[in-house]
Structure 1
């Protein structure tokens, strides 16, 4: 790829793949992984402090829950804005501005005198976090292609898998020696470190020749064209539905495993953590074998695994197999997401190098909209059984596999873009 001549010296470039060499790849992984962590850390780190925040600010739990709702909305809006801007102005400038916004909003959140100010600060904080997340994915598309891109997304999935698990633990430990405001101070410091590191060590990944004029009509047409692309839409919805299964597990597992199956908070944390370990292991297995098998083949395998394991969880509940019978398919269901996300993301972005920012934005928005919409259904469908949670997971997983099989079939024409034409071919 031509961009590698801008971001890496010849000695630091893999001459076989055109991607940055191992040293620079490791550096990019740390920086882009940190940017990817903005969302999970900002969502989960302060959750243990919500009751304390409500008491300290003289508010209610319901009002404080809005700090999470506005953040999720801000993540969606921010990605839709930051993606096209990065296609027009390059990745580096919008990224540094976005991280700066995150830092300032985190300071405001830490100093909030009321719940209303905190809610506003969280909305602005989300815009900055969204910029980091969407540009991180777009930068990966700038730097890598084919199996190398899927392999790098496997590395980033380490962050996606570990951050939601560690964030509440970190937040809880911070509360042992500081107030809830200290959590937002910690996020401020994290953002400051990333700003310095990105400014010093992350070069521009989108050359001037690859940028597009920032015209509103062009941005609208870009989003319209992306939504009209059957294959891109198929991979994007597949990602969203896979996340729906995951979000359902995250939102429902605490209630199901503790209230219905009698696990203590510590035992639940151990079970939740083990599933997270399975997710991390699967992402690394995927990264190692993606050069031997096509990303599309691995994606199909992951979707089959998540569908079978989610269906197994339903059968375990119906058959009354007890806690071990439920935990086993849950482990494989969560783990299989580690094979779905890297490959689906890389395949979705593969054919859109000139609009990678916009494509990354749509991918992120659909992921949160579809994934987030499924989690409230667990409570709405009743709380006296694990069946609602497992049924929703199974339906979402089966829908993801169906969408993948129906919408992402390669066109198989001579004019298909190279990345798409090679989607079913192993990379040597």
Structure 2
């Protein structure tokens, strides 16, 4: 058994395993449409490698050779569809269809040319080159890329070059054999199949890593999101807030606002828990609308919310809280009596040198307690005066 036959057998097994792997990802996360296309692509690869075995062992008429070429090209084009789905780039269906149709016609036309012809080899490999270039272009067109995505783009570009190099390799290594049956015994077949294996596995594994990264990110977001309000839950808020504190502590002021819905138990007792949930959702929607992109907002308790305001001092944070208090008190809640309005109390603190999140939360919480004690529907702030004693201020 020649080395090329062994490599072809490895390709067949690997294509099957990769098709199954992508299928499992698609079953686990039904939003991963890209994984479905990848499973189809490598499934076609399995059929392609089977036909290559048959052609090499038994020979094949012209239509079978063209069919085998069509399977391989279709698999690569499906890979590109998967890439487009992953990166939310419009699938270039017309371009992919044109490449497929023109390439199949060209493959049929070159069957009458000598197998040792350089022009024949170039026409045969050019569609594969073009397909990989299209894949790299799709990744480049993505709205956002991280370093793994950029690596994917360069890997596809490198793969395209290896297809373009094959006519030169064939010329250097004595060609592809006098007949299809002789192909797997040539040095060119061993190198060509090995190159294809390396790039096919590298592309697939990198794409699996990228999909796994996204799945993990989605799971993390779900685990850190409060299902009722859509804001960060306590754990998510603390993780993001700590990250902001590490970044902003050296840059400038930072403030924290804690807010608590007033008389929330009475809302539940009077109108029911479903109505209480509507009030929470309304306040959360309002908070998201009021917050800037760089703010971090979360629901940290039953009816308690918090928002980190980077680049904001105590005075500006107090103004933000007062504006939020006034606006929310005038906001209707769908499904509840039209004239009914709800209020919230607010506590505000500013980051002091040496503070961590727990100290910042503690001071804001004490200010919130003062707001509740002073009649609710108001804002209180706490700061550290020069003598180190905490002082409360009304607003």
TM-score bracket relative to the smaller structure: under 0.3
Bigger RCO of structures 1 and 2 (CA < 8 A, at least 6 apart): 1
Higher share in strand = 2
Output the TM-score relative to the length of structure 1: 0.25
Q: Which has the larger radius of gyration?
A: 2
Output the TM-score relative to the length of structure 2: 0.27
Higher share in helix = 1
